[in-house]
Amino acid sequence: MTRYREFHRRSIEAPEDFWRDEARRIHWETPFETVLDRSNPPFARWFVGGRTNLCHNAVDRHLAERAQQNALVYVSTETGIERRYTYAELYAEINRMAAVMRSLGVKRGDRVLVYLPMIPEAVFTMLACARLGAIHSVVFGGFAAPSLAARIDDAKPALIVTADAGARGGKVIDYTPLVDEALARAQHKPPHVLRIDRQLAPERLNASYLVDYEPLREQFFDAHVPCEWLESNEPSYVLYTSGTTGRPKGVVRDVGGYAVALAASMEYIFEGRAGDTMFTASDIGWVVGHSYIIYAPLIAGLTTVMYEGTPIRPDGGIWWRLVEQHRINLMFTAPTALRVLKKQDPALLKKSNLSSLRTLFLAGEPLDEPTASWIADALGKPVVDNYWQTETGWPMLAIQRGVEALPPKLGSPGVPVYGYNLTLRNEQTGEVCAPGEKGVITLGYPLPPGCMSTVWGDDRRFVSTYWSSVPDQQLYSTFDWGIQDANGYVTILGRTDDVINVAGHRLGTREIEEALSSHTAVAEVAVVGVADPLKGQVALAFVVLRDADRYAADEARAKLEADLITTVDRQLGAIARPARVHMVSMLPKTRSGKLLRRAIAALAEGRDPGDLPTIEDAGALQQVRDALAAGGKA
């Protein structure tokens, strides 16, 4: 581990020198004056005074050498459409989209809310925003209207870009009524909604604010829109992540630091080389899609594969056929997807020629040992786990094979990544944990380039949420428990707060609780995350009813449970749907009234809830046990 340790040590002890060297990977229209400004901790500003542009680094600068190389390969098993765009063709489409957006009034510093499925126009839109100096805010296409409205009001976009519909598993999701309802709910009213018409949803009478993209694209077919050169610390995008308060946090990413961090990660972590092909099976609504479907592969001169569909449609061999057909070298997905594929006919994997594939990368949730062993044996290729968050934008734990090919450790995503001063701390004292001792995973100041710079419109929340939980020390909390061994390998144990991880998607239990509480039948509710063999975690809800006698019959309770689940679907979307809603007469609380969510989760997972001397009424725990026994654990 000598090379890795020296590399990591230099990044922590001499960050200015380390990142000055890495900054040479990207184009600077104006050189930066200062590598790191730490005059206002916990805020950090990287490459101060330097001017650059993410779109230029991802596309324009490659035109001289790789204009005819494929930049984007789009495959949809939902519609049967496949398209390929060279760097020259991608450049042209981005300019058309930028010209359209500019004609609708979008300018530098404006926010553009992107509510799109996995289609090429999503890539065009995000990179067009970067080109114009606008700030994109992508909202996952599965989010329901109330969640979309909350993000509209927080970001206050000058434009919304959407589509007529998305598709998933053969089911068409009509976006237009969702956008209409969100705009009706939102206080902020953007002047225009730009719609990509995929001709999947029925024609409908549309509001006056809706503009179809295709006629404008034709009008600006030959447009050239120059890049806006942004100071390194100007915002590039806002991406919302679930919080514990029910109000989502807008993670703000900078421009220069993000570009440098991603460019470096493609060599040191992903070992990607210009001309390679990378398939990241995620969604643009999540940070993995931002960083490793769009920005990082293109900045490094790779071909990126964008996929619309599921891993088992038309069958469980589709991803492996894509590897063979497109000569994919690097693949990145979540453990949940592999657990789905593990259940498929093993012959489907063996039918495809996977000789082009060098490495499979996994992230989004803890990787269990059986899944890791299965896929490593099946592929005969390196399987590299990594751990990070929406807030960091790129991995903080990984085997950095481009630095030193350390041996993997099953169950661990790896060792701290260069730039991250990562330690495990005792929750009560803030002291560094000994090897093998459970602690909270923390990061020292300053966070490396590419990490969040603040919470959109709320610097105080950035400080109070992330930098105030470790006693008497300025440390960033990941809100994840972990254990670190003597060699530096960290194993993730779960969350310290009330955010759960469902199939790689972070969801705030408070948001689900608020949705359930809006139902007239509900008096109190507690939502916990419990382990699930397929999804990693699922949400489980326990509700106290206002009129329990009304729902005494099994049929009435079953109907109410379905109605409550539908309420969550309608307000938050299907990804937040509880696996079960159990009805109890009381919830376990401390004497001060705090819900004992960890004790509920322990019971749901068949674990001992431990000694709970502060519980108000021990009978409440028995209520939970009885409900689980009567209705199943999940």
pLDDT score recorded for residue 633:
42
Query: Could you tell me which residues are beta bridge partners of residue 212?
Result: 195
Q: Is the pLDDT of residue 207 over 80?
A: no
Query: Does a structural domain hold residue 548?
Result: yes
**Using 50, 70 and 90 to split pLDDT, how confident is the model at 590?**
low
As a whole number, mean pLDDT of residues 191-198 equals: 95
**Using 50, 70 and 90 to split pLDDT, how confident is the model at 611?**
low
Q: Is the pLDDT of residue 349 over 70?
A: yes
pLDDT in tens, 440-489: 999 999 999 999 999 999 999 999 999 999 888 999 999 988 999 999 99
Contact in structure between 23 and 265 (CB atoms under 8 Å): no
pLDDT score recorded for residue 208:
74
Question: Would strands 171-174 and 165-168 be described as parallel, antiparallel, or unpaired?
Answer: antiparallel
**Using 50, 70 and 90 to split pLDDT, how confident is the model at 501?**
confident
As a whole number, mean pLDDT of residues 143-157 equals: 91
Query: Does a structural domain hold residue 401?
Result: no
**Using 50, 70 and 90 to split pLDDT, how confident is the model at 367?**
confident
Q: Is the pLDDT of residue 269 over 80?
A: yes
Q: Is the pLDDT of residue 592 over 50?
A: no
**Using 50, 70 and 90 to split pLDDT, how confident is the model at 412?**
very high
**Using 50, 70 and 90 to split pLDDT, how confident is the model at 634?**
very low
CATH code of the domain containing 555: 3.30.300.30
CA angle 526, 527, 530 (to 5 degrees): 135
As a whole number, mean pLDDT of residues 48-75 equals: 98
pLDDT in tens, 506-555: 677 777 887 898 898 988 888 998 888 888 889 999 998 988 889 989 89
**Using 50, 70 and 90 to split pLDDT, how confident is the model at 206?**
low
pLDDT score recorded for residue 242:
66
Query: Does a structural domain hold residue 615?
Result: yes
pLDDT score recorded for residue 336:
78
Query: Does a structural domain hold residue 489?
Result: no
Task: Tell me the two tokens of residue 401.
Answer: 């094979």
Query: Does a structural domain hold residue 16?
Result: no
Q: Is the pLDDT of residue 267 over 60?
A: yes
CA separation for the pair 372, 307 (Å, rounded): 23
pLDDT score recorded for residue 464:
94
Q: Is the pLDDT of residue 13 over 90?
A: yes
Contacts of 47 (CB under 8 A, 6+ apart): 19, 23, 28, 32, 34, 35, 232, 233, 256, 257, 260, 449
Count the alpha carbons within 13 Å of 280 in the hemisphere toward its beta carbon. 27
The total number of structural domains that make up the chain: 1
Query: Does a structural domain hold residue 323?
Result: no
Give the DSSP H or E segment for 111: strand 111-115
Percent of the chain exceeding pLDDT 90 equals 70
pLDDT in tens, 352-364: 999 999 999 999 8
Q: Is the pLDDT of residue 12 over 60?
A: yes
Q: Supply the range of the domain harboring residue 513.
A: 503-631
pLDDT score recorded for residue 243:
56
pLDDT in tens, 19-30: 999 999 999 999
Higher pLDDT, 269 or 537: 269
As a whole number, mean pLDDT of residues 46-67 equals: 98
Query: Does a structural domain hold residue 281?
Result: no
CA separation for the pair 253, 233 (Å, rounded): 8
pLDDT score recorded for residue 613:
47
Query: Does a structural domain hold residue 542?
Result: yes
**Using 50, 70 and 90 to split pLDDT, how confident is the model at 389?**
very high
Percent of the chain exceeding pLDDT 70 equals 95
